[in-house]
Structures are given as structure tokens and as C-alpha cells.
Amino acid sequence: MPSLSDSYRNHPLHIHHKHHDLYSLQELPESYTWTNINDNTFTYPSSNNISEGSSVNVPVIDLNDPNASTLIGHACKTWGVFQVVNHGVPLSLLDDIEWVGLTLFSLPSQQKLKAARCPNGVSGYGLARISSFFPKLMWSEGFTILGSPLEHFRQLWPHDYNKYCDIVLQYDETMKKLAEKLMWMMLDSLGITKEDLKWAGSKSQFSEACAALQLNSYPSCPDPNRAMGLAPHTDSTLFTILYQNNISGLQVKHDGSDDGNGWVTVPPLSGGLVINVGDLLHILSNGLYPSAFHRVLVNRTRQRFSAAYLFGPPANVEICPHAKLVGPSRPPLYRPVTWNEQFSHTINTRLQILFYK
């Protein structure tokens, strides 16, 4: 059974060769300049104006609303992304994870590189996970946590790693509970019940589910109109729960957008969390809930931070269009895949869409 690490092994990332300290650069290096991709293969705005005043808005759903499950189903079908409020995650915990992330990314480069992700590994400090699939570098840095952060945090903070570890563990535990709740609301909106999904486990709590936490930092950028924080992609997850700080940058592709190029900003909402439909829910729903195609733009003056909780099925479970959503008039559109397989496939497919359309 290939592991997520196998997927990375096929697309190694050598951060030491490419690493720049983005916080001290006064000019955008050529390796980070995206505008020379002007051969019509890449959709990019003429200016990185991050408009908040769009007439189409990403849905905001109150999880205490008795209709929440129906509203979620509609948002998944029409947007692939929505924000939730009244989700039960204490705001102090969101502040805490932001503090861990900002403290981590503000360490000197040499210190961060002590916890660098191995070229073929998953956990640790490094370039955006999708970097190896794109010709240009992105104006961001990331830290991926799969399982315990202890080993890496000990290298970053030899004396007081415990307080940072405790916050990450509490964040993981809280997100796991929210993920379970959201997953059942999404499944309910598809007409799938607890009896219909064996891999949810005997208590239907997704106790074997895999998850990773991805911390992202987007430093202020000397030339934001020619830089890309995170290139357009879909997440290979079932879904992603994203906390973003109060700096705009996340955009999602949506047919009804009114900016002429299809990108709609997902505005930061105090205390809100963004939910992105990922490729595996796309497959499980037999295409009814399309995965959100999204990207991140950067700005000249403010550092942006986000924490993405990547929620997926148990490693050995193959996700396929659910039997309840397949019939004579609705053949299965996708073959069964594990999360590990999907990681490689999707990005390749999306790249083909981007570069060969």
C-alpha cells in the first residue's frame, strides 16, 4: 500500500537549494515572478486587486441553524466552499494556533531549516506542498504536521517546545470533532446515513480517519502583482477546515463571479472557518459536490497566516462514488482511489487542465 510519503517521494522538494528568506527580500526574484507565463495557459488577473465588494458571496452557514445540513449541501453543490460560524471552536484556540504559526515563521531561517521537511517527507518546514508541480516558486512558506509535532518542535524550540505542542494537540483534537460533525452533515445532505458508511467505524466517529495540519505564512511582498502566494489547486482531502487571519488573499473559482476572470475572494470573517470541498468528497458524491479550485494572492504590506486542517479517510480506504448516488441514469464517474493515490493524480490532472487547455 503506497503511503502519502510515497507520493511526495515521486515529487521531491529540495528546500535547501531554493530557500530564500522572503521577509528580507526587497525585490521579487525571477524564480518567484509569475507574469512571464503569458501564453494563455494560466489564468491570472491583470492586477492583484483583492476585491471584497463582489456581488456574489461565498455562503456563510450558522451551524446552529436547524437547516444547516441542507444549506451545507446547497453550498457544496453550487460553490464547493463555504464559511461556518457557531462551530464551537473557541476563538482563543484560533488565536493560539495563529500565535504558534506566527512565532514559528518569525524564527531565523537557519532555525526553521533545522525542522525542514525531508525532500520526500510530509512533516516539517518547507515550501508549499504543491510547489514541485509548478515552474515558479510561491510567495509563501509552510509547516506540515502529521501526527505529533514533538520532534520538529524540539528542534525549533529546544527549551519550551511543550507549550507549542500542547496547542497543536488541542487544535487537532478540536478540529477532529468539528470534522466529524461536518462530515455527517454533508453525508446527510447527500442522503447517506450511518449505516451506509462502514469506514466511519463502529461508533461512526471516523476514529481511523487521517488528518494533517498545514500552517501557511504569506509574508508581505515587494511586488504582489507578479507573485503568487499559492498557485491554483484543489485539495486532495475529503474536505479542509481553514482558519485564515484577518488578511484577505484566498480566492475560489466560481462561475458567477463578476470580476471577469472567475475568481471570488473568500473574505476573512472574524471567528469564521472556511470549509473547502476536496477531491475525495467530489469522488464520493459522484461529482455532485465539486472540489473547490482555489489560490492565494499576496499583498505589499501585511503578512497573511492560515491553518488548514486536511481531513481524509483512513489510509487504506478506497473512496469511490457512493452506491446510493449511482444508478442506471447516473453511472459512477470515478474509479476508487485512496487519499495517497489522489494526491498525485489530482495535481497532475489540474496541471494538464491549466497547461494544455
State the residues that interact with Fe ion by CB under 5 A. Answer: 235
With CB under 5 to 8 Å by kind, the binding choice for 216 among Fe ion, ligand AKG, none is ligand AKG
Q: Which of 4, 156, 250, 298 binds ligand AKG (CB under 6 A)?
A: 250
Asked if residue 168 binds ligand AKG (CB under 6 A), the reply is no
**Nearer CB in complex with ligand AKG: 192/264:** 264
The residue annotated as part of the active site, out of 117, 129, 295, 304, is 304
Q: Which of 174, 244, 286, 340 binds ligand AKG (CB under 6 A)?
A: 244
CB 178 to ligand AKG: min, Å: 17
CB 216 to ligand AKG: min, Å: 5
Give, as ranges, the residues between 222 and 241 that touch ligand AKG (CB under 6 A). 230, 235
**Nearer CB in complex with ligand AKG: 137/190:** 137
Spatial distance between the Cα atoms of 126 and 150, rounded to a whole number of angstroms = 17
Q: Which of 254, 255, 257, 297 is nearest to 276 (CA)?
A: 254
Span near ligand AKG by CB under 6 A; candidates 242-250, 277-285, 335-343, 344-352: 242-250
Q: Could you give the C-alpha distances from 346 to 65, 123, 135, 222, 237, in angstroms and in order? A: 34, 21, 17, 32, 11
Could you give phi then psi for residue 136, rounded to 5 degrees?
Answer: -115, 155
Q: CB under 8 Å, gap of 24 or more: what pairs does 326-333 form?
A: 326/286, 330/286, 332/286, 333/286, 333/287
Cell of residue 319, nine digits: 473512496
The residue written with cell numbers 466552499 in the block is: 81
With CB under 5 to 8 Å by kind, the binding choice for 340 among ligand AKG, Fe ion, none is none
Give, as ranges, the residues between 285 and 304 that touch ligand AKG (CB under 6 A). 294, 296
**Nearer CB in complex with ligand AKG: 312/321:** 312
Q: Which of 57, 60, 35, 63 is nearest to 258 (CA)?
A: 57
| Residue 291, C-beta contacts closer than 8 angstroms, at least 6 positions apart | 80, 234, 235, 276, 277, 278, 279, 281, 282, 346
Per-residue DSSP letter, 290 = P
Could you give phi then psi for residue 168, rounded to 5 degrees?
Answer: -60, -45
Asked if residue 216 binds ligand AKG (CB under 6 A), the reply is yes
Asked if residue 279 binds ligand AKG (CB under 6 A), the reply is no
Catalytic annotation present for 350: no
**Nearer CB in complex with ligand AKG: 188/259:** 259
Q: Which of 313, 307, 315, 312 is nearest to 171 (CA)?
A: 307
> Which of the residues are catalytic?
304
Residues at the interface with ligand AKG (CB under 6 A):
214, 216, 230, 235, 242, 244, 250, 294, 296, 306, 308
